[in-house]
Homo-oligomer: A and B are copies of this chain.
Amino acid sequence: MVAAVSEIGDALLARLQAFMAAHVYPNEALYEQQLHAVPGEVFRVPAIMDELKAKARAEGLWNLFLPHSSSGAGLTNLEYAPLAEEMGRVYWAPEVFNCNAPDTGNMELLDRYGTEEQKRKYLLPLLEGKTRSAYCMTEPDVASSDATNVQTRIERDGDHYVINGHKWWTTNAYHPNTAIYIVMGKTDPTAPTHLQQSQILVEPGTPGIRLMRPLSVFGYYEPPKGHGEVIFENVRVPVENIILGEGRGFEISQGRLGPGRIHHCMRIVGQSERLLEQMCRRLLSRNTFGKPLAERSVWQERIAEARIEINMCRLLTQHAAHLMDTVGNKAARSEISQIKVAATRMGQRIADMTIQAFGAAGVTDDFGLAHTYARMRTLRIGDGPDEVHNRTIARLELAKYKPPREKK
Contact = CB atoms under 8 A, between A and B. Distances in A.
A300 B2 contact: no
A220 interface: yes
A382 interface: yes
A288 B140 contact: no
A300 B218 contact: no
A217 B288 CA distance: 24
14 contacts: A3-B322, A143-B286, A144-B359, A217-B219, A277-B400, A277-B401, A304-B338, A304-B394, A307-B394, A311-B335, A312-B315, A312-B316, A355-B381, A356-B386
Given A145-B359, A301-B298, A397-B307, A2 B322 contact: yes
A311 B342 CA distance: 11
A304 B389 contact: yes
A164 interface: no
Interface residues of A, number: 94
Interface string A131-152: 0000000101011111001000
A153 interface: no
Interface string A330-356: 000011011001100000000010011
A381 B393 contact: no
A302 B137 CA distance: 28
Contacts of A293: 143
B364 A215 contact: yes
A297 B219 contact: no
Contact of A338 (B277, B308, B389): B308
A179 interface: no
A217 B365 CA distance: 8
Contact of A219 (B284, B335, B371, B381): B371
A242 B294 CA distance: 37
A284 B378 CA distance: 22
B363 A319 contact: no
A295 to B, nearest CB: 9
A322 B398 CA distance: 32
A214 to B, nearest CB: 10
